[in-house]
Amino acid sequence: MNFLRSLLVVTAALFALGCLASCSAARPVQKASLPAALADSMLRQAHVGYALFDPAAGIMLQQYQSDKYFVPASNVKIMSCYAGMKTLGEKLVGLEWVDLDTALLILPTGDPTLLHPDFPAHPAATFLRSAGKPVYISDLGWNASSWGSGWSWDDYSAYYMAERSPLPVYGNVLRWYQQSSRKANPAYPGDTIDVFVYSEPDINWPVDFAPAQASGAFEVDRLRDRNQFIIRQGREAEASQEVPFVTDGLGAAIQLLRDSLQVSLQIMDSSTARKMLAGRKRDILFTQPLDSLLRPMMHRSDNFYAEQTLLMAARQRIGKMDDHAMIGGLLSSDLSGMPQAPRWADGSGLSRYNLFTPEDFIWVLQKMQQEFGMERIRTIFPSSGFGTMSSFLKDHPGKVYAKTGTLSGVIALSGFVQARSGRWLIFSLLINNHRQPVRMIRQQMEALLRDIMQRY
């Protein structure tokens, strides 16, 4: 009897070990601890999520809190980039237009390249300038606000918070310049410097001058709700600053285009435009190659380009510039397979309402690789040593292609790293609630990437 009992115990133990072994074989062992490169005292009180995935083998190589939600900052631009690549084709639709015989009716598409200094040629401006008849513009299809959901309102005058609009011009910012030079014949001993301040484009909006700052730096601010600017002259010989203007729907664009293009422009209300379009053929004007927009968007983390990309994709896909509807549509279709359902609030990542997991970004990056190919990704994402990746792995150019993300207390990095074996691995590292200098945390991130490159 004792022998039989012992035999049953041994059999049960062997069965349990066999089950454990079979489970291990079916599911690769995952390292759920924080990598040594990140196990630093500076991150002890921060929230960290991390995942490293091998797409060729289909296995997770490393992970730590990879299914937890984090504010991802500008890593959200990965999502907007996917939306643009998936929806917008090879070239941007700059305008749709209808010939009304005695006039033209223009339907803006949200194209952010019109008169933007990033682009040497402006087909839409050339078209409007040569219209030869009055031009009416309607915001039919515009269903968004000038700011994104959850944006920090008191950043309204900062260069990175240009307003969204149906017809952007000049990037929806004024570029202010100060040039100083010594006078050849000063009127009195203290009158030795000429200071010249001007804006591009030239404007007729109110400008006030305020006392110089203690730092002596050139500074331009704007009143929150209207286009009135306050200038503080600086001691610099040359200085510049970008300041967003209040778009007022189509109002500011119409005013600036009249001055720049010397063409008759009027606003047509949506209900009238809808009637005028009935039964008429719409023509399309293409402007810039899509990737010529996505590249600077990702390389310098351009919030304005990201927001307008998402709005243009919405117009193309659902017939209106509605970022919330576009986001909902993508999450219920192309992106429905994400491991954890994200909270996606805007196109740029300025909003702290955004919540994603590292596994979400791994999934989307793999989808981009499968649908668009690594070669195209390498032409759009910034590489190590360039753009916002300029501080990472300068001695290994072309080995990492990734998107950075930074807000106060938030730092993120997600993308592709080429291991020593030649394999492209996908990683996502999201850090929230840190209180350390960004430079020091980036050093730890770089150490992690070096370890990945050597280990695999």
- Does position 2 have pLDDT exceeding 50, yes or no? no
Domain boundary among 214, 246, 278: 246
How many domains, the chain? Answer: 2
Q: Are residues 334 and 444 in the same domain?
A: yes
Q: What is the pLDDT of residue 38?
A: 83
Most trustworthy range by pLDDT among 40-54, 75-89, 432-446: 75-89
Q: Are residues 321 and 450 in the same domain?
A: yes
Q: Are residues 435 and 300 in the same domain?
A: yes
Residue 340 covered by a domain? yes
Residue 283 covered by a domain? no
Q: Are residues 232 and 308 in the same domain?
A: no
pLDDT-derived band at 41, boundaries 50, 70, 90: confident
Q: What is the pLDDT of residue 26?
A: 36
For residues 64-78, one letter each, b for 16 or more C-beta atoms within 10 angstroms of the residue's C-beta and e for the rest, the string is: bbbebbbbbbbbbbb
- Does position 363 have pLDDT exceeding 90, yes or no? yes
What Cα–Cα distance (Å) separates residue 414 from each residue in 49, 301, 363, 400?
11, 13, 11, 10
- Does position 168 have pLDDT exceeding 60, yes or no? yes
Residue 267 covered by a domain? no
- Selected residue with higher pLDDT from 34 and 332: 332
Closest CA to 265 of 399, 52, 104: 104
Domain boundary among 227, 246, 265: 246
Domain boundary among 225, 246, 267: 246
CATH number at residue 345: 3.40.710.10
Residue 231 covered by a domain? yes
| pLDDT, mean over the chain | 92
Residue 443 covered by a domain? yes
Q: Are residues 380 and 446 in the same domain?
A: yes
- Selected residue with higher pLDDT from 5 and 155: 155
Q: How far apart are CA 98 and CA 238, in angstroms?
A: 45
Residue 335 covered by a domain? yes
Q: What is the pLDDT of residue 181?
A: 81
- Does position 42 have pLDDT exceeding 90, yes or no? no
Q: Are residues 300 and 402 in the same domain?
A: yes
- Selected residue with higher pLDDT from 177 and 2: 177
Q: List pLDDT tens digits, range 101-125.
A: 999 999 999 999 999 999 999 999 9
Q: What is the pLDDT of residue 25?
A: 35
Closest CA to 221 of 158, 173, 163, 147: 158
Q: Extract long-range pairs of 264-269: CB within 8 Å, 24+ residues apart.
A: 264/134, 264/135, 265/128, 265/135, 265/136, 265/137, 266/134, 266/135, 266/136, 266/137, 267/136, 267/137, 267/138, 267/139, 268/105, 268/136, 268/137, 268/138, 269/138
Q: Are residues 371 and 437 in the same domain?
A: yes
Q: List pLDDT tens digits, range 234-245.
A: 999 999 999 999
Q: What is the pLDDT of residue 93?
A: 98
- Does position 28 have pLDDT exceeding 70, yes or no? no
pLDDT-derived band at 195, boundaries 50, 70, 90: confident
Residue 226 covered by a domain? yes
Domain ranges, residue 425: 32-86+292-455
- Does position 7 have pLDDT exceeding 90, yes or no? no
Q: Are residues 302 and 376 in the same domain?
A: yes
Question: Which residues are within 8 A (CB) of 229 and not within 5 positions of it... i.e. 6 or more apart?
Answer: 174, 176, 205, 206, 207, 208, 220, 221, 222, 223, 243
Q: What is the pLDDT of residue 190?
A: 63
Instruction: Give all strands of the β-sheet with 265-267 in edge-to-edge order.
Output: 265-267, 135-137, 104-108, 91-99, 283-289
Q: Are residues 239 and 316 in the same domain?
A: no
pLDDT-derived band at 18, boundaries 50, 70, 90: very low
Q: What is the pLDDT of residue 11?
A: 44
Are the C-beta atoms of residues 115 and 260 closer than 8 Å to each other? yes
Residue 344 covered by a domain? yes
Q: How far apart are CA 350 and CA 173, in angstroms?
A: 17
Q: What is the pLDDT of residue 192?
A: 61
Mean of pLDDT values over 169-191: 84
Q: List pLDDT tens digits, range 126-158.
A: 999 999 999 999 999 999 999 999 999 999 999
